[in-house]
Amino acid sequence: MNVIDNSQRVAAKVAGVTGVLAVAIVVFGNYVLLSPLIVPRDSAETARNIMAHQTQVRLALICFLLYSANVVVLLSALYVILRPVGPMLALIGALFRLVFAILWLLATLNLLGALRLLGTTPYLQVYQSDQVQALARLQVAANFDDYYVGLPFFGLAATICAYMWFKSGYIAKTLAAFGVISSAWCVISALVFLIFPNFNQIVNDYWFDSPMAIFELLVSFWLLFKGLGPFGVATALHRPEQTLYSKP
Amino acid sequence: MHSTAKAARIAGIVYLSMVITAPFSLMYVPAKLIVRGDATATGTNILAHEMLFRVSIIGDLVGHVIFICLGIALYRLLSNVNRTWALLMVSFVLVSAAVGFLNTLNNIAALVLFRGGEFLTVLDPAQRYALGMLFVRLHSQGNFINEIFWGLWLFPFGLLVFYSGFLPRFLGAWLMISCFGWIALSITALLFPSYYETAFRVAQPVLFSELAIMLWLLIRGAKVPSVEFATVEMKTV
């Protein structure tokens, strides 16, 4: 049976809090603040909305930054929890999640580009307003692309973590198994979408990542309220070293 | 030399190399070449000092490599105090370096636009320069985003210094305060851009903590470590 040390228990609470926060921040930033301003296939209307609600867009930017920082804390906590199960696999999972966090920051930069294009910057007056609006819409669209480039990495990270949850028995095995399936599905669907952009007309975009997001949220609540436990037979690949500050 | 003392010296030397190279790309070259709000003047300056601009791009990239080396050097020095916090510190460093690497592409795009080329003849020169200036400004915006991570890594770093037992506690506290300074600056740049320069001037005393820890590591190094002391201290956190 795998020994759960104090640093893992603390990390589990941190992972629980940051996991819930991540979902709250990204839902608020993307769906409450940003999405209502974007009008599909109408760059002029989108531009007018963005300029009329600049502070709202900038708050969305702050949400995206906080989300990235939050993901870094989350991946560190998950690494600490899962390292005893398999150090190399835990590290690979953490690095995949890191790539996803970085792509969120790129999305933030694209939004800043859109704001600058639509602003009253003197040197951009050489462009017609419709040209500038089209360029700004391109920046907003790039924001969307950044997410779908990052999504396979998020899916891979979640698949690895779910597999390790399953092996460890730290959470219920049925939940971990759901995580493996939903995360692997996310990787496959995101890759298919990148190859065939019309794939989202067959399978709605929300079906790509929502099951995985639900899994991540359920794990976060599990860690917060139930903590780590031997929920099933633990098959640790590696016995943890006790850290300097952990309780014996 | 004791391994901790040696690790401290190495971290100090790596830190010094970053402190020497970073201001060149971050401050000197932009101040010399970029004319705010004037795309033509900026483009003309960059083309007239193309090699300087290219060296600043290389300097930018080298700076991020050094930052990663610094993260690893500090991890080696401080991971015995608390591996989790040391890991978090390195994670923030890696994100910052990756964002920095990708952000360099904005300066390269600006250079391509200013230089022009056959495929860019569809744009008239004024439009080309305007687009080039946009990429120069986006590079600055990328740095504003990165300021969040320039700050965040300082919190675990400061905490580890504070509880290390071989580095002064006041430096640890100062580093943790700097974390909030950088985050406040980044948020100011994104939400209230017109107040950024004032905020940057006001925040200077807070931000000098990195210079202080660099000098301390380089000149004083680490006291003979007391792992037991650090362990007992961290348990009480």
A39 to A49, A107, A108, A110, B145: CA distances (angstroms): 9, 18, 19, 17, 26
- Contacts B84 to A, Cβ<8 Å: 7, 10-11, 76-77, 80, 243
Phi, psi of B153 (to 5 degrees): -70, -20
Which amino acid, residue A146? D
Predicted model pTM: 0.81
Contact A123 B145 (CB under 8 A): no
Is this complex scored with an ipTM above 0.95?
Answer: no
Confidence at residue A244, expressed as pLDDT on a 0 to 100 scale: 35
Locate the chain B residue with the closest alpha carbon to A56. Answer: B191
* pLDDT of A2 higher than 80: no
CA distance B91 to chain A (A): 7
Token pair 């790309």 in the structure block, residue: B25
* A-chain residues near B38 (CB < 8 A): 122-123
The pLDDT assigned to B225 comes to 52
Q: Which two tokens stand for residue B133?
A: 């200036």
B59 and B20 Cβ atoms separated by less than 8 Å: no
Interface check for A102 against chain B (CB to CB < 8 A): the answer is yes
Q: A123, B39: Cβ pair inside 8 Å? A: yes
Tell which residue, A95, A83, A35, A96, has the closest CA to residue A60. Answer: A35
- Using a CB–CB cutoff of 8 Å, tell me whether A123 touches chain B: yes
Q: How close A105 comes to chain B (CA, Å)? A: 7
Q: Which two tokens mark A141?
A: 């669209």
Report the C-alpha gap between B126 and B44 in whole angstroms.
12
- Nearest residue on chain A to B105, alpha-carbon basis: A106
The size of the A-B interface in CB pairs under 8 A is 108
Spatial distance between the Cα atoms of A142 and A144, rounded to a whole number of angstroms: 5
* AA identity, residue A143: N
Alpha-carbon distance A29 to nearest alpha carbon in chain B (angstroms): 14
**Minimum Cα–Cα distance from A106: chain B residue:** B99
Which among A98, A109, A124 has CB closest to B145?
A109
Cα distance between residue B140 and residue B147, in whole Å: 11
Work out the angle between the directed axes of helices B39-48 and B83-115 (0-180°, nearest 10).
Answer: 90
Q: At what angle do helices B83-115 and A54-82 cross, to 10 degrees?
A: 140
Report the residue from B37, B88, B103 with minimal CB separation from A76.
B88
Retrieve residue B87's tokens.
């890991």
CB A8 within 8 A of CB A212: no
Taking the C-alpha atoms of residue A234 and residue B197, their distance in angstroms, rounded to an integer, is: 55
Tens-digit pLDDT string for chain B (237 aa): 678 889 999 999 999 999 988 999 999 999 999 998 899 999 999 999 999 999 999 999 999 999 999 999 999 999 999 988 999 999 999 999 999 999 998 999 999 999 988 788 888 889 999 999 999 999 999 999 999 999 999 999 999 999 999 999 999 999 999 999 999 999 999 899 889 999 999 998 889 999 999 999 999 988 865 555 555 555 554
Give tens-digit pLDDT for A137-187. Answer: 888 888 888 888 899 999 999 999 999 999 999 999 999 999 999 999 999
User: Closest to A98 (Cβ–Cβ): which among B91, B127, B148?
Assistant: B91
| Distance between B194 CA and the closest CA of chain A, angstroms | 13
In chain B, which residues have their Cβ closer than 8 Å to the Cβ of A124?
130, 134
> Would you say how long chain B is, in residues?
237
Distance from CA of B138 to the nearest CA of A (A): 6
Contacts of A157 (CB under 8 A, 6+ apart): A75, A93, A94, A96, A97, A100
Give B-chain residues touching A248 at CB under 8 angstroms.
none
Contact between A116 and B227 using a beta-carbon 8 Å cutoff: no
pLDDT surpasses 50 at A242: no
pLDDT tens sequence across A8-55: 999 999 999 999 999 999 999 999 999 999 988 888 899 999 999 999
DSSP assignment of chain A equals: -PPP-HHHHHHHHHHHHHHHHHHHHHIIIIIIIIGGGPPTT-HHHHHHHHHHTHHHHHHHHHHHHHHHHHHHHHHHHHHHHHTTT-HHHHHHHHHHHHHHHHHHHHHHHHHHHHHHHHS--GGGTTS-HHHHHHHHHHHHHHHHHHHHHHHHHHHHHHHHHHHHHHHHTSS-HHHHHHHHHHHHHHHHHHHHHHH-TTHHHHS-THHHHHHHHHHHHHHHHHHHHT-S---S----SSPPPPPTTS--
- Among candidate residues B123, B43, B36, B194, the one with its CA nearest the CA of residue A122: B36
- For residue A120, the number of C-alpha atoms closer than 13 Å in the C-beta half-sphere is 1
Is pLDDT larger for residue B57 or for residue A231? B57
For an interface test with B, which of A120, A244, A247 has the most B Cβ atoms less than 10 Å from its Cβ?
A244
CA angle at A206 for the pair A202 and A207, rounded to the nearest 5°: 65
pLDDT (0 to 100) of residue A143: 80
| C-alpha dist (Å) from residue A225 to A16, A217, A218, B111 | 9, 12, 11, 54
Q: Count the Cβ atoms, other than its own, within 10 Å of residue A179.
A: 26
